[in-house]
Structures are given as structure tokens and as C-alpha cells.
Amino acid sequence: MKKMNIEPQNLLDENRVMDVRPIPCSIKHGLILKTWRELSLNSFFILLNDHDPVPLRYQFMAEFPGAFTWEYLEKGPEDFRVKITKVREVPATV
């Protein structure tokens, strides 16, 4: 079985798209949040998923209120693209 090299810096392509469709659900949210935390202020990535990432949006709202913007670029039925921008710094995790 091939081990996936899943590191935040490896997840963004040249167009700042983060395709999370092949990533196992058990680690997907953690990788997305880590990638977002490591963005510089006013930077963004475009999340590409095979379903509407509503639970992820709620998680962002709970953990980072006022620190991000969430803009749908494509809303299905097969692909969902969301531009997630860091608009305020957040405290570092320990």
C-alpha cells in the first residue's frame, strides 16, 4: 500500500487549489485547518471537494470567528470550490 505524503505545503497546486477529494475523511479537516493557519494574512486557497463542506464551514466559524472569508466559486452538483481567505491572524496552537 502506497503511503500518501500529506503535508500542507504539498496540498496546494500552482493555482492555490487544494483538492481534498482523495484525502481520507479521518484527516481531511485537520489538514485543511492546518493549511489555513499557515497562510499569511490576506492569503487564500481554493478548496476543491466532492460535497458541500458545510460542517467544515461551521468548524471555521466556531474556531476562527471573524478571521476568514468563505466564498463559493462552484456549488456542485459534483464539484464544490470554496475560496477560503485568512483576513485576521489567529493565536498559534500549542
Tell me the CATH number at 71: 3.30.110.40
Banded model confidence at residue 3, pLDDT cuts 50, 70, 90: very low
Instruction: Summarize the chain as % helix, strand, coil (round to 5).
Output: 30, 25, 45
Distance CA(94)–CA(79), nearest Å, equals: 34
Query: For residue 9, is it within any domain?
Result: no
Stated pTM of the model: 0.87
Contacts of 92 (CB under 8 A, 6+ apart): none
Could you give the number of structural domains in the chain? Answer: 1
Banded model confidence at residue 91, pLDDT cuts 50, 70, 90: confident
Query: pLDDT by residue (tens digit) across 10-64?
Result: 689 999 999 999 999 899 999 999 999 999 999 999 999 999 999 999 999 999 9
Query: For residue 10, is it within any domain?
Result: no
Sign of CA dihedral 27, 10, 70, 34: positive
The answer to whether 73 touches 47, Cβ cutoff 8 Å, is no
Compute the average pLDDT of residues 54-77: 97
Query: For residue 3, is it within any domain?
Result: no
The answer to whether 39 touches 86, Cβ cutoff 8 Å, is yes
Note down the domain range covering 71.
17-86
Query: For residue 61, is it within any domain?
Result: yes
**What pLDDT score was predicted for residue 11?**
82
Class of residue 84 by CB neighbours under 10 A (exposed 0-12, middle 13-18, buried 19+) = buried
Banded model confidence at residue 6, pLDDT cuts 50, 70, 90: low
